Amino acid sequence: MALLITDDCINCDVCEPECPNQAIYQGELIYEIDWMRCTECVGHSEKSLCVEICPVDCILPDPSHLETKDELFLKYQHLLMEVPDTERS
C-alpha cells in the first residue's frame, strides 16, 4: 500500500528529498504523499526511506490504497518508464 503523512507532521522538510519517486510534496498545511507515485521505496530500498528518516513517526500505511509488494514493484517499473534514459544514472 502507499503511505500517507498524518496531521502530526511538523513540516521539518526531511522526507521530501528522501523520496526517490518524487511522491512527497508540500501540501497546504503539511507534507503530503501522491499515492500514485508512492511505492514505499520498493525497487529502491529495503525500507521506506521517508519512514526511516521521519523524526515524529507520522508516515503510515494508507488504508485507502492497499497494494501488494508485487503491485508496488509494477508501479515502480511504470515510473521508471516515465524518466527519459538520459536522466537515469
Average pLDDT of each block of 10 consecutive residues along the chain (89 residues)? 95 97 97 97 96 97 95 95 59
* Residue pair 28/19 in contact by the 8 Å Cβ criterion: no
Q: Cell numbers 503539511 label which residue?
A: 30
Separation between Cα atoms, residue 64 and residue 6, nearest integer Å? 13
Tell me: domain 3-87, CATH 3.30.70.20, correct? yes
Q: Which pTM was predicted?
A: 0.87
What confidence score (pLDDT) does residue 88 get?
A: 45
Separation between Cα atoms, residue 21 and residue 73, nearest integer Å? 12
What confidence score (pLDDT) does residue 15 get?
A: 97
C-alpha grid cell, residue 86: 538520459
CA torsion angle for 55, 61, 64, 65 (degrees, to 10)?
Answer: 120
